[in-house]
Amino acid sequence: MKIKCTFLNAPLKETIYLEISQGLNLEKRKYCLRLSQEIYGLQAEPLAWYEQLKRWITLVNLSVCILDPCIFHSSGKIPTWLYVHVDNIAIFSNNVEGFKKGIGKEFEIKDIGPANPTLGVKIYQMKDGISLNQQHFTESLVEQYRMNTCRVVATPLTPNEHLCPATTDAVILFKKLKTNYRSTIGSINYLSTATQPDLSFAVSTLSQYLETPGLKHWKAFLHVVKYLGGSQNRGLYYPRQARKTVTAFIDADWGNFQVTSCLNTGYLTCFHQFLVFWKTCKQPSTFIAEAEYNSLCELTSEFIWFKQWCEEARLLMLEDPTLIYEDN
């Protein structure tokens, strides 16, 4: 569901004056215009719109999530969850039509049907659960770099390959390609953070060289695209019924960055063997024990937030203690 003319619905709380624009027969030295309502382009309009929407949502007995202010939930007879992204609202309830009818009396809305796709992620409803993927985006990415006819590879990066900063000559040669390396890495980062966690390490490695990429880094990116050619339909799956247990895995390697000797950390958290969140990043530490403890601290903080968020939104209550598997 979308809200039409989103920012125009919020009341103007500040006194704002505008200069006389061209075409008006008014003398600029004597007159100015006073704004009577919110318009697009003001700095405070996103917050003003959010406060206006939150004010109405709380009137219909929904509470704002403290840990994620963009989520609203109710604890009444009909459980309802709302996810708000600017002018888009995803509704999870057994009375979706009733909520649409109520909010339609306050704001002008556009019913766009089921939330599919959402932020570029395709949602497949099945009897036993849901599946998420970005097959359309992956296919367009493979075609954009003309890798749809190439032989696919089994891993996102070449095994045992250690990338280093590009030399001056390599940077000059790469600039002749007139390719936006930062944009290309951003495209696979979009996949890795949404539905393909298997790209997380590759994105973390290639993003180390955004400022001065060379031909080796570009070839490594094309290797990732070749890998995507054979994994276009991959994504995430979440069952309707699962045991309420959480398991986490974490590790830190040594020697991947030969120039700085920094360590790389990766972790993932599974809700009954199904991925919930994951991350791969470079650490500033060069000591393996320190890196392991830093990784454990970050993962534990992430999980505590996730647990509190689930309990606050009344989504689930975890049954068993969380197991964190750490290799040291």
What crossing angle do the helices spanning 215-229 and 135-144 adopt, rounded to 10°? 130
pLDDT (tens digit per residue) in 153-171 = 999 999 888 888 888 888 8
Phi-psi region of 275 (alpha: psi -120 to 50; beta: other; left: phi over 0): beta
pLDDT at residue number 98:
87
Q: In what order do the strands lie in the sheet with 264-271?
A: 274-282, 264-271, 246-253, 323-326
151: DSSP letter:
P
Phi-psi region of 136 (alpha: psi -120 to 50; beta: other; left: phi over 0): alpha
C-alpha span between 28 and 21 (Å, rounded): 9
Residue pair 292/328 in contact (Cβ under 8 Å)? The answer is: yes
How far is the CA of 281 from the CAs of 188, 192, 202, 205, in angstroms?
Answer: 15, 13, 10, 8
C-alpha span between 55 and 116 (Å, rounded): 27
- Report which of 106, 275, 273, 123 is spatially closest to residue 196, judged by C-alpha positions: 275
The tokens for 258 are 């030969």
Residues of the chain with pLDDT under 50: none
pLDDT at residue number 155:
93
pLDDT (tens digit per residue) in 219-274 = 999 999 999 998 888 899 988 876 777 889 998 876 566 666 678 888 998 887 78
Omega before 197 within 30 of 0, i.e. cis: no
pLDDT at residue number 255:
58
pLDDT at residue number 196:
93
